[in-house]
Amino acid sequence: DAGVTQSPTHLIKTRGQQVTLRCSPKSGHDTVSWYQQALGQGPQFIFQYYEEEERQRGNFPDRFSGHQFPNYSSELNVNALLLGDSALYLCASSSVSGASRTDTQYFGPGTRLTVL
């Protein structure tokens, strides 16, 4: 049973560029949440997708956007990158429907984004 997967593992961008990060949820899960973890900090909630719609959003600017596909996988897009966007981006999956319902979020290994 594959867990949550994320790609790429590492990414280096320059200020002003745009980046797309990808996440595939755990088998049987239908909800994807994204978190940003700055160095030495706890993860902070960016947003959550279910049924291809953004359901909740944390305190992040509109430069951060996302998408969920019919197969439940998700993308996180960040435009006009700033130095402060350098962080580990974590994807977590869970399920709100049917027998797989769980309020527990399972995390992927993360994507390390460095903005120069």
Task: Using CB under 8 A, list all residues that contact other proteins.
Answer: 4, 6, 31, 33, 35, 40-45, 48, 50, 55-56, 58, 90, 92, 94-96, 102-110, 112
Smallest gap from residue 45 Cβ to other proteins (A): 4
Smallest gap from residue 14 Cβ to other proteins (A): 23
Q: Which is nearest to 8 in space by CA: 21, 26, 19? A: 21
Smallest gap from residue 22 Cβ to other proteins (A): 15
Longest dimension (CA), the chain: 45
Tokens matching residue 69: 């596909």
Q: Which residues contact 84 (CB under 8 A, 6 or more apart)?
A: 115
